[in-house]
Every structure is written in C-alpha cells, then in structure tokens.
Amino acid sequence: MPSKDLVVGNLVARTGEKKTGVVEFTVADQPYSLEVFLINGQKDGPTLVITGGIHAAEYASVAAALEVGQKLTPEELCGSVIIVPVVNQRGFRLRSIYINPMDGLNLNRVFPGKADGTASEQIANWVMQNVIKQANYYIDLHGGDLVEALIPFTIFLKTGKPEVDRASIELARTFGIPYLVRSEGMGSTFSAAALAGIPAILTESGGQGIWRRDQVELHIDGIHRVMHQYGMMPGAVPAPVESTVLENFIWMRSDEQGFWYPMIEVGAKVHKGQNLGLIKNTWGKVLQDVVCQGEGEVLFLVSSLAINKGDPLLAYGV
Ligand SMILES: [Zn+2]
C-alpha cells in the first residue's frame, strides 16, 4: 500500500503514526497556535476531521475531542483522523462566551473565512483550508455555551446537492443523537464544509459550563459510531437510532437590554401564543413579553439573568 502522509501545518504523521503538537501561524499580525492530533492509520480509509472549542466554553465538546485525541491509536485505525480540540484558543483561556476575544466575532458565523479578513476570519480560513478541506467526513463538536441549557441535537445543512445532503444526513443519523435539525447555519463550520462538498454535521451536547460524563460520552460514542459505520474501526456497524428531523430552527432574541426571566424549561413543548419569558428592567417593569410565534420543542434556553439587546433567548425546533 502506498504510504500517505497526514499533514497539518508543519506537523506530519506518516502511515501508521500518531503525531501531536502545536501548529503556529499568523493571524491579524499576531502569532496564533493550535494544538493538533494527527492519527494516520496503518490501513487505508477515509479521513475524519473533528473540531472542538469553536465556542470556547462548550466544555463537553472540548473534553470529548481531547479524550478521543488522547486515546486513539493508528494500530486500530483504517484511514486518518485529524482533531483540533480548541479552535478558539484565546477564548478558551478567557472563558469567553460566543466570541473570539481577538475581534469580538463569533467564529461560527465567519466560515469559510477570509485570508485578509479580521482575526476570526483568518482563523476560519486557515482551519478551512488546512484542516476541514482534508475531510471525507467532518464533525464539529458543540454544546450549550456558559449561559445556555440545551437538549442534545445534531445540525446539518441542506445544500441542494443531493449527494452531499444524503451523506450529511446519513452522518447525522449515524452519530446517534435522536434530534436532527436541518439548518441554514450560514457562516458556520458545517455549512461551509457542506458547501465545499464535504458531508458535515455540528453536534450539541452539554452546556452551562457543565461537562458531565454522559454529556461527554454522547459526543465520544457518536464519533465511535461514525468510525465503525465508515469502516475506520474494527467492529460491527452500529444499530440505527430512531431520529426525528426538525426542518425549522426558530431563534428568539431580546429586543432590549435587561434581566431575563424564562417561564419554560429547556426541552419544553411550546405553542403559538404561549408566554416564554419576560425581559424586565431594574425596577421590575416588563420591557419585552416573549411570546411564541409557532410550536415546537425548546432545544436551547439562555439561563443568564443578564441579557443584552439582540442576544439569543432560546430556540425551538419544528
Ligand atoms: Zn457552539
């Protein structure tokens, strides 16, 4: 079998090798570094790319990426796996919510990035060109942020290219989380990958700064299920999980700066006209009565008392 090197930046893993290290590049005239796991299997097979920490405080996803990276060995592997556990490095150290502190942008709104853009756009461009584009399958691990409770779900994009769309939904089903959300997700990792022809999903588990074992394991089990399904690991193809595809993902946002008093729990079934919560000012005056415009199941709910104008409050899937 011809040997094929697995390369990210200056890090190279030859066939049958595992290499870990820090890859450095320049972003907005500042040095930037990413920790990378390269696992190049002894046998041929697809390339799976896994990223975590695009949102820096979604800890169950980062913990899962670290654990898979630390444990996976080339001996058991057919194909290659590239793992970048914390893409938003500055945000991780600062425990930043939603954004990259280098420019205040949400990394998951700027993909596929720009070579001459802001810091986040340059990071997105580098990760897209050097990491994601190597993928036959791409999984971006997420969860609720520090201020978000959520029930697990998997998002994928409908590109209109039947082959990619079929492969993305198969990847989503294989991962094994029962709720699947077909999303626009423009500027996000998985949509940029899918538009580049790569089957891609974004998986959500954990939230509110918590990374319970079951939340981490949901991500890890999903990755293992995918690797079995596509022949990258020995063992039986996983049994299918019954799943529901939600065609719409409705986000509700705050019109005001104030204090957020949700009136529902995450996972609640909500209906048109239902009061979902109130935004009040310091003196108790109601600034916004958040009323449900449709019906569905609440997939994430912001749990922060502090709320700013334009902040997400919750989203429900239909
Ligand atoms: Zn996220």
The pLDDT value recorded for residue 186 is: 87
- Report the alpha-carbon distance of residue 165 to residue 161 in Å, rounded: 6
Q: Which helix (H) or strand (E) holds 140?
A: strand 137-142
The pLDDT value recorded for residue 23 is: 98
Q: Average pLDDT of 37-62?
A: 98
What are the structure tokens assigned to 44, written together?
A: 């041929």
pLDDT tops 90 at residue 54? yes
- Report the alpha-carbon distance of residue 114 to residue 43 in Å, rounded: 35
The pLDDT value recorded for residue 3 is: 67
155-192: pLDDT as tens digits: 999 999 999 999 999 999 999 999 999 987 789 999 99
Q: What is the distance in A from the centroid of ligand 1 to the CA of 89?
A: 14
The pLDDT value recorded for residue 235 is: 87
Q: What is the distance in A from the centroid of ligand 1 to the CA of 56?
A: 8
80-116: pLDDT as tens digits: 999 999 999 999 999 999 999 999 999 999 999 999 9
Q: In the chain, what percentage of residues exceed pLDDT 70?
A: 99
Contact present, 276 and 300 (Cβ < 8 Å): no
Question: What value does the mean pLDDT of the chain take?
Answer: 96
Q: What is the distance in A from the centroid of ligand 1 to the CA of 198?
A: 20
The pLDDT value recorded for residue 197 is: 97
Q: Average pLDDT of 55-67?
A: 98
Q: Average pLDDT of 30-53?
A: 97
The pLDDT value recorded for residue 66 is: 98
Helices marked H in 10-118 — which ranges?
59-71, 89-94
Q: What is the distance in A from the centroid of ligand 1 to the CA of 143?
A: 5
Q: What is the distance in A from the centroid of ligand 1 to the CA of 300?
A: 11
Report the predicted TM-score, pTM, of the whole model to 2 decimal places: 0.96
Q: What is the distance in A from the centroid of ligand 1 to the CA of 58?
A: 6
111-132: pLDDT as tens digits: 999 999 999 999 999 999 999 9
220-265: pLDDT as tens digits: 999 999 999 999 999 888 999 999 999 989 999 999 999 999 999 9
Between the alpha carbon of residue 276 and those of residues 260, 263, 303, 318, the distances in Å are 11, 5, 13, 16
pLDDT tops 60 at residue 2? no
AA letter at 117? G
What are the structure tokens assigned to 228, written together?
A: 């079995």
